[in-house]
Amino acid sequence: MLRSLSVPRRSYSGVLRINQLGRLTRPSLTGLTNGVIAIRLSSTATMSRDTSHYSDISKMKSSADGSFNRLASTFREFIKPGGKFAPEKGRYHLYVSYACPWATRTLIVRKLKGLEEFFPVTVVSPRMGNNGWPFSTADAFPNADPDPLFGSSHVKDLYLRANPDYEGRFTVPFIWDTVHNTIVNNESSEIIRMFNSAFNDQLPADKAKVDLYPEAKRAEIDELNEWIYPEINNGVYRAGFATTQEAYEKAVHIVFSGLDKVEKLLTGKDYLVDGQLSEADVRLWVTIVRFDPVYVGHFKCNFTTIRDGYPEINRWMKQLYWKNAAFKDSTNFEHIKTHYYWSHSQINGTRIVPFGPIPTIQPL
């Protein structure tokens, strides 16, 4: 496709880069008149600014003491009636990875709330290389999709389309708005809150009444989220991405003391907050289901496994997986295992994906 574009100088002065499949990713320049150049548009044309320090996770810097600190998400708008982003069918799109726990939160809640038609989903390939998350057109993988909106080759192309000056990591999940052609929100904890309530008046009664953050239980849920996120959800990453022995040991002890607390909380109970499924379960579950297949080995969280060391957590996890399709259908162990073991070459240089555990999740 050949198009004329007016582009600022810096966007065509970028260096040549080779993507993970060995392809040249600089757009080819075919003419230049008065600042208007003809660019043979490849889907990578939007990414000529050098953003490799954000897209390549193997080059991610840790803090001076060797600990991992997650950057805050930056697109933080809300879908709400009367707002810039109104709750409308056919308007939004959800981009996810099956591998990513934060993205899996959004898939689970989307399904629990029956929002499939409001948020069509695109799944990236699990092999995150030096350009970040690829779509299937750049890296074919079973159950990965092409980008249906723009034919982008990588998630980063969409971030730079939304904001050419974007500074930050190119993360999933995120919601794309086809009216303003931008990212509405890339923070899963906020996306699941929107899913929980913003579309209720357009949903059938049985789905509208599903409430994962009920008024009466909010204080209890907030209190759980407050320690489960740093100690467990992000805790496993802090153990796995630590670059000193000291930072790792500190982080891994926090993970297991968090799990000990959860084991006590779940004893004899089906849900964290008495009697009902809430967002606290969803937020914890996505980490627990990855624990034995990935975090025990890859992130060195190996004091014990969930199946051997935490019978109550294991029972809770299996029940949700085997009895609730929203959980099982949002989980793809092939994507999960491949992503972590393949993508973090700073931790697993051979990129070998372990065969076990067998089974990946135990039967009920």
Ligand X SMILES: N[C@@H](CCC(=O)N[C@@H](CS)C(=O)NCC(=O)O)C(=O)O
Residues that bind ligand X (CB under 6 A): 57, 73, 100-102, 132, 169-173, 186-189
Distance of CA 24 to the CA centre of its chain: 27
237 annotated active-site? yes
Tokens encoding 174: 């995120």
Give least dist CB 229 to ligand X, A. Answer: 9
CB atoms within 10 A of CB 73: 19
Active site annotation includes 100: yes
Distance in Å, CB of 189 to ligand X, minimum: 6
Pairing between β-strand 36-40 and β-strand 92-96 as defined by DSSP bridges? unpaired
Q: Is 187 annotated as a binding residue?
A: yes
Q: Shortest gap between Cβ of 55 and ligand X (angstroms)?
A: 6
36 DSSP 8-state letter: E
Q: Would you say 171 is a known binding-site residue?
A: yes
Identify whether 27 is preceded by a cis peptide bond (ω within 30 of 0).
Answer: no
Nearer residue to ligand X within complex by CB, 39 or 68: 68
DSSP 266-301: HTT-SSSSTTS--HHHHHHHHHHHHIIIIITTTT--
Annotated ligand binding at 188? The verdict is yes
For ligand X, the closer of residues 100 and 247 by Cβ is 100
CA separation for the pair 314, 182 (Å, rounded): 40
**10 Å Cβ neighbour count for 93?**
20
> In angstroms, what is the minimal distance from the CB of 70 to ligand X?
6
Of the candidates 92, 98, 100, 248, the residue annotated as catalytic is: 100
* C-beta of 236 vs 252, nearer to ligand X: 236
- Rounded to a whole number of angstroms, the CA Rg of the chain reads 21
Could you give the 3-state DSSP secondary structure of residue 133?
coil
Q: Which is nearer to ligand X, 187 or 292 (CB)?
A: 187
Summarize the annotated binding site as residue ranges: 133, 169-172, 187-188
Residues with a known catalytic role: 100, 237
Summarize the annotated binding site for glutathione as residue ranges: 133, 169-172, 187-188
